[in-house]
Structure 1
């Protein structure tokens, strides 16, 4: 991690308001953040940005978040990257599926900024 930030956080969130809220708050907390809206750019962005954490929405238009987590876990370079799921899916079944494929933490929307930064700090701590 660079000395200029607490860590690098890649955010993949299709909802504009959430993406901006998450990015702005985490930058305010001292993280270096790259917000993405297109899941098809996630692996290219991983290589370029080199994040310490991925914040991921499960509901995405082309590739669902569970598939992205499975792809990360089977990738030699990114298999250990912490993944924080942020989702409107509130059922225990959805959470179980996310953890089963390799999510490290799961927050349900709406998410208070403090809860987001606490989860990020715990995963990067």
Structure 2
């Protein structure tokens, strides 16, 4: 599983993780790195724009409940920024209600995974979304 995953440009696939829970953030970061992804993680929504601009992720993993800005607002920012709007966003949230899921999908998220997420399911969702980009 330690193989390096290549993007279209030949560089390692970059994932931006937006997660305020320290344990969840560290666990997902470690697992994604183990799976061969390059990961940059932020704990607050206020760091999101700078991370998007400097890191240029191929995919975003987004928690909806953040301490400063909610994930819905970040989804709107992504859709309103032409350079970001083509980047797939997978929401990983404890909000399990259908209304929350539908709202996130309506705002441009491509998938919605409910916490606690099974790590193999997360990797499968990431791989599938990145394969859509390659087509």
Instruction: Tell me the TM-score normalised to structure 1 length.
Output: 0.95
SS in 2 for 1:86: strand
| Count of aligned pairs between the two proteins | 124
Q: Which aligned pairs between 1:89-108 and structure 2 lie closer than 5 A?
A: 89-108=95-114
Per-residue displacement from partner, 1:13-48 (whole Å, max 9, x unpaired)? 000111111111111111110011121011111111
Q: 1:47 aligns with which of 53, 57, 65?
A: 53
Q: Which has the higher contact order (CA 8 A, sep 6+)?
A: 1
Q: 1:83 aligns with which of 70, 89, 93?
A: 89
CA RMSD of aligned residues (A): 1.1
CA distance in 2, matches of 1:116, 1:88: 14
Instruction: Tell me the TM-score normalised to structure 2 length.
Output: 0.88
Say whether residues 1:25 and 2:25 are aligned partners. Answer: no
Query: What residue number does 1:109 align with?
Result: 115
Unaligned runs of 5+ in 2: 1-6
Per-residue displacement from partner, 1:62-104 (whole Å, max 9, x unpaired)? 1100110011101121111100000000011110000011111
Unaligned runs of 5+ in 1: none
